Each structure stands twice: as structure tokens, then as C-alpha cells.
Amino acid sequence: MTALAFGAGSVSSLSAGRNNSGPLQFLTPSIRRPPDHEYQGAMQHAWGNQYWPKIGWLRRKIKGWEDIAKKRCGAGQRLLMNHSHFRRILLLSLTQRRIPQKMSPSGRKSIKEILLTLQPGNLKELGSTLAAFHQRGEKLPSLELLAFNRIIEHVPEDMTVTVETGMTLAALQGALARRGQWLPVDPPHSERLTIESLLSLDQNGPRRCAYGTVRDYLIGLKVVLADGRLIKAGGKVVKNVAGYDLCKLFVGARGTLGVVVEATFKLRPLPEAEEFIQARCDELGPATLLIEAVLESELVPAVLDLHNIAVQDSQTISVEANRTGDVCVALGFAGTREEVEWQLDQAHDLGFSEPSSLAYETVFWKDGATPDLHRVSILPSRLIDTVGKLGRVPFVARAGNGILYYRGGPALSMPTNPTVLGGRLKDAFDPKHILPDLPA
């Protein structure tokens, strides 16, 4: 019996009737480093080994996937099924008696795709894997950096941190908070967003209005290129750039130029106080005047959002606009207690009198939310006109930056990406195009 190696552990197999028509039968994990003894005991109790002789067809199929992966990646390359995927498969097997078709948090990966995801265990293994694919000119499959999950160095006195990019943003923020510091970015789902995804997708959140994006805090990088070479850019001090700032090149590149394995950031102190307040308007006209008044005042908001999200029923998956047609202008202030209270008083004079929070953000970005998400980046001066074209669809707009997110509704036209320039960069960094392709 051949066991599949899934990162930190392994399982013997998973099974069901042909064409997924029968119940999901989980066999016991192999005794070689099971992911968790609790899972092993649960599966032994639920299924035992009685079904093993009946599922040779699935064992042969999974063995075939493993052979393909070893042929492509080298015999020493490990395959991945992380603990969250393992837990979901187990729970579905015990409760629904079926094979789950979609296993990733985004619901877009099949079991086969997860099994064939690469999980290099260290920098040498990652470099050799990329070099092998580059030599053959073969497209690299999905890659996970879960083994790269450490804080390399945190210097509170210099307010800098160096971290491996497989670490989640929430884990990093938790470690920094113990020393009264933070990386000033707040994208959704930080509990599962890795630093690598944060950089490659240039993710951000409502506090972008005051703090900017992650590229504003990135001061150093280590990147494994498509041919397996390791390069470094920037450093560990704040003022260290001479010549081209290559760090910025990899932010938002979506993994098309290389695999970022280590990043150094400058940090900021955690604010002493943070408060939110809002004004509700029955149409976009008064909301426009409020936003203009804020921008022309002495206020320095950490959050300046415009939204129409109904937050009363946060349990439903469907994200809905307010039934009354109201829109809200939400303000957030952060800093010392004295300056936050002063700004709240000034905002009250402008017409902001209703206490608020970021609950609309939680509702808008919750898992499995419908309808489909759209993103538009426009000039802040054109934001209100663009919102007016959406009709009654739920939206959240960063009024200070011109970033608009909405669900459902029309697909608004956007400027095309600079494909010629992007193609030249792609050819320079990844001449054989083994990494992900440039987005259209």
C-alpha cells in the first residue's frame, strides 16, 4: 500500500463508489507521521479498514496522480494537503457520506488539484524544483509556501520586521501587537491570507485611506526566480534604496515574475485609540457634499468609505443593499485619545453623528458571499458618478482612493493592462513562462 505524503503528515487514501455515487469511505492514516492523532482515531473509529479491499480503483487513480507528480517534480518532492483541507474532507465524510468536489477556501480546487500542489520544505528544495521545471520548459503547478512561516527578525527599536512569506498576515500582526506595533494593512480574511498573497495581489482594506498599501512599507525582498536563482532587493533599514527599487516590481505581480520567499517591512506603532462614526444619506448628492467637506477640512481620517450594505442580518450569505436606498459615509479616526476625540467633535459639526464600525466590511467580504464580486479603480473625482451607474447593487467604495467594490450589477469598462510592457518584464524574468501568466 502506497501512502501519499501530504506535507506534515500522510494518509493512506480516501475513497468512494465509482463516479462519486457511493459514500465517502475514509481509511486510516498511515502510521508515518499522521497529521493529527485526533484525526487518526476518529477515522479508525468511524470506518476502520473494512472498506479498503473494495476501493482498489481509487487507490490506483491516486497512485497515478502521485506518480505524475514525482515524475514532474522529482522523487523527493512532497505533495500537499494542509490540515484545513484534511479537516474539511474528514468532517464531510463523517456527516454527509460523500466526496466533496471543491476543497479550497475559494471553492475552486478539486481534490486532484490539491493533491498535485507543490509544497517545498525549504529554500534549497524550492530552488531546485523551479530549476528543474525551467530546464524542461514545463509549466509550474500550484505552489504553497506553508513551510516558510517564521518571523526571521523583529527589531522593535528600528520598527522593522523580516518574515517568511508563507506566514499568514493575522499571525504576523499578532506577534507584532505584543510589542505594540503593526503592519498598517487590513485586507479581508487576514487569518488565511499569506504574506506572499498579500504582496503578489497587493491586497488592502479600508484603512488604506490613511496608511496606504503594503508597497509603502516594503523595504526588502528575497525572491526565487523562474530558473531557481535567489535574488535580494532592498535591505533591513528604512532608507536603503539606490538605483532601481526592485521591491515594488514584485508587488501586485501575481507571482508572474518569481516566488517571493522573504520580505522586510517597516512598521508603525499601534494607535492608542480608534473610533468610527457615520452619516446616513437618502441619496448620493448629499453624500458627495459630505465627502467633499471631509476632504477640505482639517480631518485626517484613517477610513473614508461610502457604502450601502445592509448589516442587520449578518448570517445570510447574500450581500444586500439597504432596502431604503440609503447610503452611508463612514469615517474612522486613529491615534492618541486626544486627537481622536478632537476629530470626532469636528466630524460631528460636519453632520456625522451616528456611531459606526466596520461591520459592513465583514458582511461584504464574508466567505461564500453572493452575488459575484467586481472591482473598479477610478479617479476619486469620478467615484460618485460611477456608483450612480450601478443601480441598486451592494457596494463598498474607498472614497479617499477611488477603489470601488460591488457585487452583481453591470460589468463596468476598465482600462486595459499595459500588456506590452508587462510582456517585456515577463520575458526578462521568466523567459520560458513556467510561472503563472499575466492577467488579461
Q: Grid cell 479617499 — which residue?
A: 400
Look at residue 200 and tell me whether its pLDDT is greater than 90: yes
Summarised one tens digit per residue, pLDDT across range 148-197 is 999 999 999 999 999 999 999 999 999 999 999 999 999 999 999 999 99
**Rounded to whole angstroms, how far apart are CA atoms 439 and 113?**
21
pLDDT band at 5 (very low <50, low <70, confident <90, very high): very low
The whole-model pTM stands at 0.75
Is the pLDDT confidence value at 91 over 80?
Answer: no
Q: Look at residue 90 in the predicted model and tell me its pLDDT.
A: 42
Domains of the chain: 4-117 (no CATH), 151-270+419-429 (3.30.465.10), 273-407 (3.30.70.3450)
pLDDT at 269 over 90: yes
Strands across the sheet containing 230-234: 151-155, 160-164, 259-266, 218-224, 230-234
> Looking at residue 73, what is its pLDDT?
46
pLDDT band at 14 (very low <50, low <70, confident <90, very high): very low
Average per-residue pLDDT for the chain: 78
SS3 content of the chain, % helix, strand, coil (to 5): 35, 20, 45
CA distance 391 to 374: 14
CB 113 within 8 A of CB 85: no
pLDDT given for residue 410 in this prediction: 85
Q: Higher confidence at residue 217 or residue 99?
A: 217
Rounded average pLDDT over 189-210: 95
- 417 pLDDT band, cuts 50/70/90, is confident
Task: Judge whether residue 301 has pLDDT over 90.
Answer: yes
Q: Are 394 and 387 in contact (CB under 8 A)?
A: no
Residue-level pLDDT at 359: 93
Of residues 387 and 410, more confidently modeled: 387
d(CA 352, CA 222): 45
More confident site: 325 or 268: 268
Residue 297: partners with Cβ closer than 8 Å, 6 or more residues away = 346, 350
Cell 480516501 locates to 14
More confident call, 42 vs 152: 152
